[in-house]
Every structure is written in C-alpha cells, then in structure tokens.
C-alpha cells in the first residue's frame, strides 16, 4: 500500500510556516502500519494542485492533502478538487448548522464566506470538523482514496482522530504495528544508550525495534513490534526493567505529560503545591495549570522576577541577596520556605537562574539554575547547568523541577 502527502500553501514554500502537519501525519500513519512514500509541498495554484494530485492518484492508494480550505480568496483547494473529481458544490445543511452554531457560541457574526464553507462537493464523504469551520473531504476514484483536510494543525488532527483513522483501517485492512512509549526526564540519549547497552541489545535480538525520540528536556523511547499486540507483555517487561533501574528518570508512558503525572501523585497524596518563580517567569506555573482540574492541588504562585519582589513577597533577606546573589542555594531555599508559608501549601517549588542569553559570569555562567522544594520535611535544593538558549533553559528548568517533585512524592532519593 502506497500513501502520499500533499501540503498546499505558499506560506510553507516561502518558509513562513514549518510543515509540522506532514511530520505528524507521517508519524501517526506509520504507527498504524501505513508508510508514506512521498510528501509534496506546492503553492495555492490551480495548475500545480491538479498536476500533483493527478500524478499521486495514479501512483498511490491513499493521498492526504492538507491546506487551502480557509474562507479567503487564496484558499482554492475545495474548488479545484471539486473540478478534478467532476463534481459540483452543494450546500450541506448539517455542516451549515454546525458552522452557524460555531459562530453563535462565540458570539461572532457569521459572514457569507463562512456560509460558503458549508458548500461541499456532492460526491465526497464529508468529514466533520468539530473544532473549526472547514470540513474534511473523502474522495474515491479508480481505487484510490484522496482525503482533503484543513491546514490548521489542531483542526487537521481533530478530523484525523475523530473521522479518518478508523475509516482508513476499515478501507485498507492494514496489519497494525504495535508500539509502546516510555517517557524519561533528565537523562540524555547517548548517556542512556551507553548505560542500557545490554538492555537495548536484548530488545533488538528479540526482533523488536527501539527508537530514541529526544525533545528539549525529555526523552521518549518507543519499542515497536511488527508482530502486533502479541508482543505487548514482552515490551511491558522491558519497560518495567528500565523503570526499576532508572526510577529517577522514568516518569510515564504513552502520551502523559510530566505535569499530569505529578498532578495525579499530588491528588493521590492529598497534597497541594505552589511555586515561587524567578528565571522560569511563570512557565512552571503554567505547566501545572495546563492540566485540566489542576485547581484541586495547584494553589498559586509568586513570580518574583525582580530582587525587590523577592524581598517584598517572599521575604528573602537583603543580606542573603547581597551575600549570595539571586542565583544561589541560599536565596532559592528562602524563596521556597517562605513561599510555602505565604501560599499555605504542602510543597513549594522555587526557581532562580540565569536563563540567558546575557547575564552570565565566570562563576555563574548562563544556564546556571537553582531549584528548591520546601515541604513539611524541610527544604531540598539542586543546582543545574543547562546551555545557552533562553527558551530551552526555561523549559529544562520547568521539567527538572517537576521531576524533582515527582521523585520527592515517590520517595526516590537517588539522583544519579
């Protein structure tokens, strides 16, 4: 079975938008046993669209097209597809109803261009978009399937999950590949590979494949079996082995976020948490709050970006600031201890560091970060040295802080 992706949009060709849709689709399809053999990016141009689609329809069984379904004049995909598949646009009353509701719910005025989004080719299967106004379309011709989707990533993903993946399974009967993912924080790819050499070799010898999927501050490992679900328990055993050996790094499975994992632990233990942030500037708080229901354990935060506010809001002494500087064990511990009192929480995490790109010294280079956690048992603090990139340093700090709290909640003390 051959699958192709076609991404339509000038913004992709001139590099104003990076084609994350193609990466997501490639990943999701390959996990479902459908491998993509080609991905083509073209502009919102009728001739280019028709030529590319026509070639793909002759060569592939499945073509997924993204982009060009918006309400404005430069979005021409729907009209071009309608012509290519010898169809005509007809007003779809249930789609129109949904679009009307979409605007009503948001208290926004519906315009004629929005109404026109409910006009869809007569001979396609309409794929409902429950998060936006551009519907997906499923065409069939000469044994090939062409699916057209909006280019807005979260709309495209929603339609794929809700409307497409099951239909593809039914239509193409692909043998599904089985895979599981385990999540780690605080350990690098090559360090892990070196430490778990034997484990990795055994996995490969068993005919399974192991992929390292690193992202900033965390690492996913995916084990894939082409034999299918029969290998579920084998994979699970490998994961448990890893978890047992490296409990300080392994935090979850699948698609869980570290914030969710920590949130669940706090709920289970009936504990509350708050934060006092300096270098992370609210990003640690927002990681907690990103989880729905977090108000059950997350109470709030002081963001003491300036030294004055460190003194005023969490009573860091001026002597401490003068003697040790804002980025120090002493200051970060005082922030956590007093923050815990002022916020009336069980755990209080504080951060202070030099996120960069400027502000480093020989003694405290850019990337130096202190994290402290105060609890009823006292205060624990740890120094990290990240890199030169501001955004990455902030994210690494947030993930490290969450993982330190996870280890405390689970009583994992070994941080090697």
Closest CA to 11 of 50, 39, 38, 42: 42
Q: How far is the CB of 392 from its own copies (least distance, A)?
A: 8
Compute CA distances 36 → 53, 249, 385, whole Å. 15, 33, 40
Quick count: other Cβ atoms within 10 Å of Cβ 404? Answer: 24
Cα separation, 64 vs 138, whole angstroms: 9
Cα separation, 4 vs 64, whole angstroms: 6
Q: How far is the CB of 411 from its own copies (least distance, A)?
A: 27
Nearest CB to its own copies, comparing residues 5 and 379? 5
**Coil/strand/helix, residue 38:** strand
- Record the tokens describing residue 265, joined without a space: 């632990």
Q: How far is the CB of 394 from its own copies (least distance, A)?
A: 8
Nearest CB to its own copies, comparing residues 189 and 256? 189
Q: How far is the CB of 299 from its own copies (least distance, A)?
A: 5
Q: How far is the CB of 86 from its own copies (least distance, A)?
A: 25
Q: How far is the CB of 12 from its own copies (least distance, A)?
A: 7
Cα separation, 183 vs 229, whole angstroms: 20
Nearest CB to its own copies, comparing residues 17 and 315? 17
Nearest CB to its own copies, comparing residues 30 and 125? 30
Nearest CB to its own copies, comparing residues 88 and 197? 197
Cα separation, 286 vs 398, whole angstroms: 10
Q: How far is the CB of 326 from its own copies (least distance, A)?
A: 10
Cα separation, 302 vs 283, whole angstroms: 12
Q: How far is the CB of 168 from its own copies (least distance, A)?
A: 16
Closest CA to 401 of 360, 351, 331, 365: 351
What is 121-183 written as a DSSP string?
Answer: ETTSEEE--SSSSPPEEEEEETTEEEEEE-SSHHHHHHHIIIIIHHHHHHHH-PPPPEEEEEE
Residues 67 and 7: beta-carbon distance below 8 Å: yes
Nearest CB to its own copies, comparing residues 255 and 378? 255
- Record the tokens describing residue 207, joined without a space: 């005919």
Q: How far is the CB of 3 from its own copies (least distance, A)?
A: 10
Nearest CB to its own copies, comparing residues 140 and 189? 189
Q: At what angle do helices 390-410 and 258-269 cross, to 10 degrees?
A: 30
Nearest CB to its own copies, comparing residues 300 and 325? 300
Nearest CB to its own copies, comparing residues 2 and 171? 2
Nearest CB to its own copies, comparing residues 13 and 234? 13
Strands 250-253 and 125-127 come out as unpaired
Do you know the residue count of the chain? 416
Compute CA distances 406 → 189, 261, 363, whole Å. 21, 8, 30
Cα separation, 219 vs 183, whole angstroms: 6
Q: How far is the CB of 79 from its own copies (least distance, A)?
A: 17
């Amino acid at each position: 079975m051959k699958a192709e992706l076609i991404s339509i949009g000038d913004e992709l060709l001139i590099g104003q938008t990076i084609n994350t849709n193609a990466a997501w689709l490639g990943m999701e399809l390959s996990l479902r046993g459908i491998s993509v053999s080609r991905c083509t990016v073209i502009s919102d141009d009728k001739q280019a669209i028709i030529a590319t689609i026509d070639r793909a329809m002759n060569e592939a069984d499945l073509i997924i097209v993204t982009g060009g379904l918006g309400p404005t004049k430069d979005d021409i995909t729907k009209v071009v597809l309608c012509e290519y598949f010898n169809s005509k646009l007809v007003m779809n009353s249930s789609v129109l109803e949904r679009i009307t509701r979409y605007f009503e719910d948001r208290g926004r005025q519906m315009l004629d261009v929005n109404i026109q989004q409910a006009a869809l080719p007569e001979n396609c299967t309409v794929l409902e978009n429950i998060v936006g106004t551009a519907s997906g379309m499923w065409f069939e011709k000469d044994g090939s399937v062409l699916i057209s989707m909006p280019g807005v990533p979260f709309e495209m993903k929603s339609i794929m999950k809700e409307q497409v993946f099951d239909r593809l399974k039914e239509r193409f009967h692909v043998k599904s590949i089985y895979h599981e993912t385990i999540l780690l924080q605080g350990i690098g790819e090559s360090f892990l590979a070196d430490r778990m050499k034997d484990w990795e070799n055994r996995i490969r010898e068993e005919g399974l494949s192991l992929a390292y999927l690193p992202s900033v501050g965390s690492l996913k490992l995916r084990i894939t079996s082409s034999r299918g679900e029969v290998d579920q328990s084998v994979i699970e055993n490998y994961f448990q082995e890893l978890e047992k050996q490296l409990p300080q790094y392994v935090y979850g499975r699948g698609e869980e976020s570290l914030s969710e994992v920590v949130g669940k632990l706090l709920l289970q233990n009936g504990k509350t948490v708050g934060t006092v942030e300096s270098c992370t500037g609210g990003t640690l708080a927002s990681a907690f709050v990103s989880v729905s229901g977090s108000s059950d354990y997350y109470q709030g935060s002081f963001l003491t970006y300036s030294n004055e506010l460190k003194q005023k809001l969490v009573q860091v002494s001026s002597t401490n600031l003068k003697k040790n500087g804002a980025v120090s064990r002493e200051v970060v511990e005082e922030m956590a201890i007093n923050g815990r009192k002022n916020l009336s929480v069980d755990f209080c995490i504080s951060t202070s560091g030099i996120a960069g790109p400027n502000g480093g010294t020989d003694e405290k280079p850019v990337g130096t970060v202190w994290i402290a956690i105060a609890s009823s048992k006292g205060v624990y603090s740890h120094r990290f040295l990240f890199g030169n990139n501001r955004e990455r340093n902030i994210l690494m700090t947030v993930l490290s802080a969450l993982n330190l709290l996870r280890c405390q909640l689970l009583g994992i003390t070994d941080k090697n």
